[in-house]
Chains A and B, each alone.
Chain A
Amino acid sequence: MKIIYQTTDGIAVITPAPNCSLTDAQTAAKDVPTGSAYKIVEDSYVPSDRTFRNAWTIEASELTDGVGD
């Protein structure tokens, strides 16, 4: 599971630690910057080819799963 949010430089992708006791939703609320909208996605949603990693973008309208605390 990954958590995606927009930054000033592109997009950030959060990977929850597997032995963390928090749920993905709790991790998203805590680790996404305050006020930033996020989307929780399957790992396969994130491109494995990182050649153009710094150019990745996402439509703001897709970030609908919550907002960072």
Chain B
Amino acid sequence: MSTIKANTLLHSDGSTTNPPAIPALDKRMATAWANFDGTTGIVVRNSFNVSSITDQAVGKYTVNFNTALPNVNYVVSMSSEDGGGFNDPRVCNRDSSQARTTSAFGIYHWHLGSSALDDATHVNLIVFAS
């Protein structure tokens, strides 16, 4: 048993944007993630391995991966924010009307109070794949 102590771990090319491969740990790391605003057009606040977000309609979006995933058996976890109180909740679900592929998946944002699709101010999503 040995311990490696280092302050910085870089790809062999020296790049700070090209991550080094750690095969045994890759499946424990997020393959993609994003935080976006789905109102008044889309604003992608921050993301990783997401090339774009498609606004399909009110409360319906498509997340497009920059680098395709190895298969469609990936895990998606999502959340959104309430409308300003405990009595105004919203939920994000994966949209089964949009095919789950290695390059994209669909989501919808539902306002429980009005039982209708609703544009989301905050959608947070994270994807794991191996």
Contact A50 B43 (CB under 8 A): no
Q: How far is the CB of A28 from chain B (nearest CB, A)?
A: 9
Q: Is B41 an interface residue (CB 8 A)?
A: yes
Q: List chain B residues, Cβ under 8 A from A17.
A: 34, 44, 47, 50-53, 66
- Could you tell me the distance between the alpha carbons of A46 and B119 in the complex, rounded to whole angstroms? 16
Total number of A-B contacts with CB less than 8 angstroms? Answer: 76
Contact B51 A19 (CB under 8 A): no
Contact B34 A46 (CB under 8 A): no
Say whether, besides A17-B44, A50-B40, A27 and B54 are in contact (CB < 8 Å).
no
Question: Which residue of the partner chain, among B36, B40, B52, B62, contacts A48 with CB atoms under 8 Å?
Answer: B40
Contact A50 B58 (CB under 8 A): yes
Contact B54 A22 (CB under 8 A): no
Q: List chain A residues, Cβ under 8 A from B56.
A: 7, 9, 12
Extra A-B contacts (17), CB below 8 Å, given A19-B47, A31-B64: A2-B41, A7-B56, A12-B56, A15-B41, A15-B42, A15-B53, A15-B55, A16-B44, A17-B34, A17-B52, A27-B51, A31-B51, A48-B41, A50-B58, A53-B58, A53-B119, A54-B57
15 A-B pairs in the complex with CB atoms less than 8 angstroms apart: A9-B57, A12-B62, A13-B54, A14-B52, A14-B64, A15-B53, A15-B55, A16-B52, A17-B53, A27-B52, A30-B64, A31-B51, A48-B41, A50-B40, A53-B119
Residues in B lying within 8 Å of A, measured CB to CB:
34, 36, 39-44, 46-48, 50-58, 62, 64, 66, 103-104, 119
